[in-house]
């Protein structure tokens, strides 16, 4: 772990605070488990057509305070190296977009999903 547990706790608290603030964008969508529209070729009660609700809150990079540790983490070479190793790509680059350079996103709790 390249971040101490206490630092992770602080980053998590900051992210949760942003997600619960007026800066967060809230979204709610209904879709199938495949994140698609229902298939009209199948009966409405078919498992493929079962609808679920996805809810999320997003805070874009432009709304994260300039002195935030979350911004520092986003630009850390150690984080890029970790993500490169996990996804198996030769290189990653920081986005120049002031809005979507990094997003903090939290899906709504789901009864089958473990808390992390």
Select from 114, 99, 113, 116 the least CA-distant residue to 54: 113
Task: Give the model confidence (pLDDT) of 77-86 as tens digits.
Answer: 998 888 889 8
Q: Is residue 116 part of a domain?
A: no
Q: Tell me the sheet residues that pair with 31.
A: 52
Number of domains comprising the chain? 1
Q: Name the pLDDT band for 29 (thresholds 50, 70, 90).
A: confident
Identify whether 112 is part of a domain: no
Quote the pLDDT of residue 7.
92
- Domain annotation covers residue 69: yes
Domain, as residue range, for 21: 5-107
| 34 within domain boundaries | yes
* Any domain includes 75: yes
- Is residue 115 assigned to a domain? no
Instruction: Indicate if the pLDDT at residue 99 is higher than 70.
Output: yes
For residue 47, pLDDT beyond 70: yes
Q: Does the structure show a pLDDT above 90 at 53?
A: no
> Does residue 87 belong to any structural domain of this protein?
yes
Encoding tokens for residue 94?
Answer: 């920081």
- Name the one residue in this structure whose structure tokens are 């057509």: 49
Q: Of residues 3 and 43, which shows the higher confidence score?
A: 43
pTM of structure: 0.66
């Amino acid at each position: 772990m390249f971040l101490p547990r206490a630092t992770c706790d602080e980053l998590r608290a900051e992210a949760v605070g942003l997600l619960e603030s007026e800066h967060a964008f809230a979204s709610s969508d209904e879709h199938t488990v495949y994140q698609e529209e229902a298939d009209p070729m199948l009966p409405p009660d078919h498992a493929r057509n079962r609808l679920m609700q996805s809810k999320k809150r997003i805070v874009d990079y432009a709304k994260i305070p300039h002195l935030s540790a979350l911004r520092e983490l986003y630009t850390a070479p150690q984080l890029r190296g970790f993500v490169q190793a996990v996804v198996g790509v030769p290189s990653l680059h920081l986005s120049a977009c002031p809005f979507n350079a990094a997003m903090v996103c939290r899906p709504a709790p789901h009864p089958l999903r473990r808390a992390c």
